[in-house]
Amino acid sequence: MKPKATIQNVLQPLLNKLFNQNLDISDATNRVVIHTLRHTFASHLAIEGTPILTIKKLMNHSDINHTLRYAKLMPDSGREIVERLYE
């Protein structure tokens, strides 16, 4: 029986060819894996000011604490609102 094609099975060989040549398989710090793409996606959402609860939903995180790691990348969106109070 042929193994079921998954995103992991299809994309990881391509990621290895493009980014992971000459890296040891145990080099988790520098290897590009599918999770790297998820992390990059969530980071870009945060940088663009996407609400944290929207990121949580899109990432399908069960716990907001998993999502809060991206909050540090978010622009200071509340600052303009507070400054407008005193104009």
pLDDT greater at residue 9 or residue 79: 9
pTM (whole model) above 0.85: no
CA–CA dist 27, 76 (Å, integer)? 35
Mutual orientation of helices 34-47 and 7-19 as an angle, nearest 10°?
80
- pLDDT value, residue 84: 80
- Is the pLDDT score of 1 beyond 80? no
- Residue 32 · residue 15 · CB < 8 Å: yes
pLDDT tens for 34-62 read 999 999 999 999 999 899 999 999 999 99
What is the tens place of the pLDDT at every residue in 67-81?
999 999 988 767 777
Give the whole-angstrom CA distance, residue 47 versus residue 44.
5
Give the type of residue at 18.
Answer: L
Q: Distance between CA atoms of 67 and 14, rounded to whole angstroms?
A: 28
The pLDDT value given to residue 36: 93
Structure tokens given for 75: 């622009």
